[in-house]
Chains A and B, each alone.
Chain A
Amino acid sequence: MNESAGSPKNDLDWARVRNASPNFVDHYQPHIPRELGYYDTGDLVVREAQEHLARQHGISAFCYLCRWDERTSQLVPKRQIVAPDGSEFPFCVCWENGSVDPVAEDAGDAPQRRIFSVRTSAAFLQELIPLMREERYFRIDGRPLVIVARPEAIAETVSVLRMWRDECERADVGNPYLVCFGTAWGSNALGFDAAVEFPPAGFFPESYLSRVSLTNRAFKGEVRGYRSSLAQSLAALRPAHKLFQTVMPAWDETACNQDSAMTFVGSTPELFAQWTERAIQRTWLRFAGEERVVFIRSWNEWNLGCHLEPDLRYGRQYLEAFRSAMQTARAVPPERPTWSALRRSNGTSAGAASRIVRSSFDPSGAGSRVSVVMPAYNHERYVIPALDSVVTQSHDNLEVIVVDDGSTDSTGALLDEYAVRCKSRRITVVHQQNAGAHEALNHGLSLAAGEYLALINSDDLYAAHRLELMLAEMKADEAAFAFSNTCFIDEDGGEIGDEDYYVAELRAAIASGTGAPDPLYGFIVTNIAISTGNFVFRQNLLHEIGGFCAMRICHDWDFVMAASYRTPLLFIDEPLYLYRLHRANTFSSRRLLGCLEIEQLQSRFFADIGSHPLLKEARSARRFFAHARARGLGGFLPYNISTRSRAKG
């Protein structure tokens, strides 16, 4: 949905748009419209062309920003909202009842904000009701969508919203779906159904002022980075309240304020497509049915350099970027392969095995058979110590399966040599084309014969008695999944202590999670097992929940969360796993992808939370939900749980 089809605050003034000029080298100004020309926003022929353009590129409705004119008691500009004859293009209205733009907020002399009386708010609604009666008024689940820019500008907001709902029912237009701008505060408490983002407000983009070469000596404005806004948006966590996502193609106020404009630099259609794609993915995860709405702040906002409509420079590239993102965005978390699929594929999927090397040793020994699975990739420096730590385990009966995931260094050769040389354990080395950690893990698991399965990363280490101790505890507790405490080591194997803030944070998370009534309390916040390598589980768990899903970063965390529905998660409070921290680890360079995957796995986990075995007792459930809300996960709780608990205080 398009959020600013007509912005009254900055009524489209083509003279200003034409006269805008660059303030710095390569400053894109003026913006010159292409096929639509310098159009009249009230011209019905133009409107028809705009609707066609929007529809063609996947935009399903316009949202008109309207002011309230006290003198005429009318919405302004109403002329724009009137449809061309026969138009069926949906629309809705946003009451722009005060400035929400980020400029001048910091000038120390913010203008007095106007407060609208109850009577004015009532009059506004009466003006709106005839529009709501139109067939093409945009609705969510049959409810007409109405947006309010600044709820605080409405006197007695809670009563006004109640009155609006009553009036709409009386007028037989349906209970309005009321939304306000904002990202971080209690829209629900005021009586709104949801909030909506309104960029560029709400972000702290990086200043580029020192990086541009000014050509306008009078310029006193701001130059900000589009990318940092986008990066902040993509890294933002899921809020506890319903928040619709809004994307913005660009921002440049030069046509409004030549010398004091806020200008965002660095926008490209590709980045806009990234933003759109993620907004769609999140919306898909967070909402269902007709609530799956994404807003675009754009359209007719040439004054603000914020238009999707074609211009001479980019043509339709932003529109096409939007359409392509709509087509490619996939948000549903990847499924975990079932056990039978794992066995069937036996490594013949993405990373088909090309070569297998086995040691000649035939395993035997006391105790349950354990299969240790190690995915290996480019760890020539660490893989031998890692294997040494496995083969020297005090537990007797074990086999080792190493999947070389297409290493490009000498890891593969080192593994083959080790397997041939090893006389004490059965070692199988499988070489496959690079297919990612989850594929390598699944491949290794599909070959495992042990009753218990233990994993290890090719750069980490086991403590000498790890498997013996863990198996004993698992049997005693009848747990099908266990993990131990972690010792963090550096690239040279030295222990990293709390002097490293990152390690201190990880340790605090482990302590907090494992000190809770159940480790699950910790797992819903972060992966307190730290890594896949710390997992030990019974093979039958794979039969129940399947293998690792195709997530690049969080496949392990997703696996534990699924396991929690089938077995207690047993924590052994001894540092039996030595986890190596590198300067460049996967997550730090793929944090934004990680953010999406975390939301995917948390969405999947919480989707069925009502049936979780840990929460059978009402008291346990209440405590768990309170914990989830306190940790900022209220947005994942089913809405009825979320509101019921809140109502109980």
Chain B
Amino acid sequence: MYAALAAQQNGLTTTAASLYTRVLEREPTNFDATHMLGVVQYQRGRFDEALTLLQRAKQLGPDISAAAQNFRLLESVFANEIELCRDALARTSGLIENIPDMSSVLADAPSSHIVLSSEFSEQDRASLEPIIERVPRGRLTLWRPRDAKFNPLGARVLDPQSGLNPVGGLMIFCGMLHSSFSWIPAARPERVILIVTRDLPGMLLDAIRGLSGEGRKAIALIYATSELATRFRLRGDVLPPLDDHVEKVSSLL
């Protein structure tokens, strides 16, 4: 423990982490080692591990406030990042395109692609399915990341490194978590629409930046729910509630 502490005090966090880990291998319930390893992992940027360790330290030493304080500090770091990104999103308004007549945009697109995100779920499918059903089959292609947990309607695998990606036309990205945006400029979409499905400001910021070709082109937003539209306050349409989907989408298309 002394060696670990000394290493930590001298800024040698890798060494300190290894020494604390050794202590924990011998004494898995050692509060000090658990707590300090949590602190060191924070300093090393391993926030998830730090959070787990500090939570465990809280359980091992419920009367010791330092672990709880550090745990709360780390939690606040995550909260601060969310706040930061939410505020930064307000500055992206110049990148957001307002489409006054979405129906003609959808109707006129010679080809449409819906690209599903990595976190695409059954819940997302429920909101997207009516759209998929109403788009003329010949003009719509669905794409899914290779690691997608869910594959509705036999979407094609997206693998830009192997040249498997949509080219041209209207590209609708459903969800914000996409493994790569760098292929998009070369794919020359005529227009890009992002369907916002989660209240995750950091991910939305990344998606707007990535999809807009780092700010060189505007994109349009569609919110999956009106709550999301309220949370983000960036202009965009809202998907109609599930029951109205068929009618609304039908009129759009």
Contacts and interface: CB of A to CB of B under 8 A. Distances in A.
Which label, helix, strand, loop or mixed, suits the secondary structure of the B interface? helix
Interface stretch (B20-28, B43-51, B109-117, B239-247): B43-51
Nearest to B182: A26
A591 B215 CA distance: 29
Contacts of A231: 77, 80-81, 83-84
Interface string B207-231: 0011000111000000000000000
A589 B45 contact: no
A231 B80 CA distance: 6
B23 to A, nearest CB: 18
Given A207-B46, A501-B69, A592 B83 contact: yes
Interface stretch (B7-15, B126-134, B168-176, B190-198): B7-15
A270 B91 contact: yes
B202 A591 contact: no
Contacts of A235: 76-77, 80
Interface string A217-239: 00000101101101110110000
Given A228-B81, A269-B215, A106 B76 contact: no
Nearest to A102: B11
Interface in A311-346: 313-315, 317, 321
A204 B73 CA distance: 13
Contact of B65 (A269, A270, A501, A590): A501
A410 interface: no
A213 B179 contact: yes
Contacts of A232: 77, 80
Contacts, number: 108
B79 interface: yes
Contact of B181 (A26, A106, A107, A268): A26
Given A204-B45, A314-B214, A592-B80, A502 B72 contact: yes
21 contacts: A25-B180, A25-B182, A26-B181, A105-B11, A108-B12, A108-B14, A206-B47, A206-B77, A213-B179, A222-B45, A227-B81, A227-B85, A231-B77, A231-B83, A231-B84, A234-B84, A235-B80, A274-B91, A314-B215, A501-B68, A591-B79
Given A224-B45, A501-B72, 10 more contacts: A106-B14, A204-B43, A206-B47, A227-B85, A235-B77, A271-B205, A274-B88, A591-B79, A592-B83, A592-B87
B77 A228 contact: yes
Interface string A355-371: 00000000000000000
B96 interface: no
A588 B72 CA distance: 11
Interface residues of B, number: 41
B9 to A, nearest CB: 13
A5 B81 CA distance: 30
A266 B80 contact: no
A269 B214 CA distance: 9
A368 B84 CA distance: 47
B12 A106 contact: yes
Interface of B: 11-15, 42-47, 65, 68-69, 72, 76-77, 79-85, 87-89, 91-92, 179-182, 202, 205-206, 209-210, 214-216
Interface in A565-601: 588-593
B92 A270 contact: yes
B72 A26 contact: no
Contacts of A271: 84-85, 88, 205
A231 B47 CA distance: 14
A230 B84 contact: yes
Contact of A207 (B47, B88, B180): B47
B88 to A, nearest CB: 4
Nearest to B83: A592
Contacts of B43: 204
A174 interface: no
Nearest to A207: B45
B79 A268 contact: no
B88 A228 contact: no
A270 B80 contact: no
A274 B69 contact: no
Nearest to B65: A501
Contacts of A105: 11
Tell me which of A26, A222, A268, A269 has the highest count of chain B C-beta atoms within 10 A of its own C-beta: A268
